Amino acid sequence: MPFTPDSELDLLFPASLISPEVKSQLHTDLHIRPLASTDHGRGHLSVLSVLTVATDHGEAAWKSQFDALRSAPNTYFGLVIVDKASDRIVGAGTLFIERKFLRGLGSVGHIEDIAVDKAQQGKKLGIRIIQALTHISEVSGCYKTILNCSDANVPFYQKCGFEKKENEMAKYA
């Protein structure tokens, strides 16, 4: 499939929020951009399957979730890295911005669901995704950016400039 430029896509958030520095550091075969309404067809779920079972509920359900995310403005920032030759997604990640009453009515950026296609791991795509999401968090005025990860991924996030702080607690339904 030929590469689809941003101008022909319906994007989750303005592409101007993608760090120009991160863009310039990516290999010219790759493109980083906001998630688009047609990315179900570009392998979004298959990239996410490196994280956990990514059941496909069909394109309509995927699009409906995309629309729900976009209906909360300035809150969900899903981005993807696309391989230009195939127009397929090879990396993805999300920033969620939480608005608080504390910290001078401040905001916190939460990084979620970072995934790089197995064949592309170890080529600095992961760090570029984290840098791009942290940039959005910072230009949006968040006073900190946080995430949860496994022990195995601690060294990766340390390379991205994060430090270990407190504990994660979880209660599954």
The site for ligand ACO (CB under 6 A) is made up of 50-51, 111-116, 121-127, 147, 149, 152-153, 155-156, 159
Alpha carbons 51 and 146: distance in angstroms, whole number: 18
Minimum CB–partner distance for residue 115 and ligand ACO (Å): 5
Q: Which residue is nearest to ligand ACO (CB)?
A: 126
Minimum CB–partner distance for residue 102 and ligand ACO (Å): 23
Q: Sort strands 88-99 and 76-83 into parallel, antiparallel or unpaired.
A: antiparallel
Minimum CB–partner distance for residue 129 and ligand ACO (Å): 7
Alpha carbons 48 and 61: distance in angstroms, whole number: 16
Minimum CB–partner distance for residue 114 and ligand ACO (Å): 4
Minimum CB–partner distance for residue 127 and ligand ACO (Å): 4
The neighbour count for residue 97, using CB atoms within 10 Å, is: 19
Nearest CB to ligand ACO, comparing residues 104 and 122: 122
Nearest CB to ligand ACO, comparing residues 84 and 110: 110
Which DSSP helix (H) or strand (E) runs through 69?
Answer: helix 59-70
**Residue among 132, 102, 114, 109 at smallest CA distance from 31:** 132
Nearest CB to ligand ACO, comparing residues 22 and 36: 22
Nearest CB to ligand ACO, comparing residues 51 and 61: 51
Read off φ and ψ for residue 35, nearest 5 degrees: -55, 140
CB 125 within 8 A of CB 88: no
